[in-house]
């Protein structure tokens, strides 16, 4: 039943280590994947290393299941998932110290609650982090980004479009 529902709603490209969920051009946007499907995928595909799911009604429930069920996860990209909060991000951060790439861009919508608290926890727990994108997150400020820059020496790409940063962050990047 799950496979049938998913195939009707979206096109999924899945290998043993990758899950990419994107909109099929012929499908209506009103049919969206939810926590129910993603939780089931996380439970059944525990070898996943890469998850990229954008624009869906994904919440902290899914992040908590991914944290518990996908120990090999290295890349997590959740663009435009506006039901994610500090709680879910901290759950992922606490259980996946080998994450190399994180993206929560575009969540600056109603219901999104990603703040400096999440960024500080990511900075503390991800010394190997190479890519980080928190564009359009209104509550992200210099305070947490400067800590991230100090504690993540392997960071190669940092995307902060439409965040509340100032010259302090730019100076931290330069130094």
Query: Per the structure block, which two tokens stand in for 160?
Result: 């902060």
Give SS3 for 141: strand
Query: Per the structure block, which two tokens stand in for 34?
Result: 């939810």
pLDDT tens across the length of the chain (175 residues): 344 444 433 444 445 566 666 544 444 444 467 889 889 888 988 888 888 887 677 889 999 999 999 999 999 988 887 788 889 989 998 898 889 999 988 765 555 678 899 999 999 998 899 999 998 888 889 999 999 999 999 999 999 988 889 999 999 988 8
Give the per-residue pLDDT at 131. 97
Query: Per the structure block, which two tokens stand in for 77?
Result: 């990209």
Distances (CA, A) of 111 to 10, 32, 46, 82: 24, 17, 29, 6
Which is nearest to 18 in space by CA: 91, 62, 76? 76
Domains of the chain, start order: 2-174 (3.80.10.10)
CA 120 to chain centre: 15
CA 162 to chain centre: 17
CA distance 72 to 44: 13
pLDDT digits (tens, 9 = 90+) for 75-89: 998 888 778 888 998
């Amino acid at each position: 039943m799950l496979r049938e529902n998913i195939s009707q709603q979206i096109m999924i490209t899945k290998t043993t280590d990758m899950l990419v969920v994107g909109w099929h051009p012929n499908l209506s946007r009103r049919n969206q994947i939810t926590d129910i499907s993603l939780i089931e995928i996380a439970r059944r595909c525990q070898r996943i290393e890469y998850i990229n799911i954008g624009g869906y009604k994904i919440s902290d429930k899914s992040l908590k299941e991914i944290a518990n069920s996908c120990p090999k996860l290295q890349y997590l990209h959740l663009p435009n998932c506006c039901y994610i909060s500090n709680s879910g991000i901290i759950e992922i951060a606490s259980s996946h110290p080998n994450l190399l790439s994180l993206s929560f861009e575009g969540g600056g919508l109603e219901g999104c609650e990603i703040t400096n608290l999440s960024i500080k926890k990511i900075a503390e727990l991800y010394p190997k982090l190479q890519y980080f994108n928190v564009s359009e997150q209104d509550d992200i400020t210099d305070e947490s980004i400067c800590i991230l820059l100090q504690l993540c020496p392997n960071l190669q790409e940092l995307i902060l479009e439409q965040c509340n940063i100032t010259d302090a962050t730019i100076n931290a990047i330069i130094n």
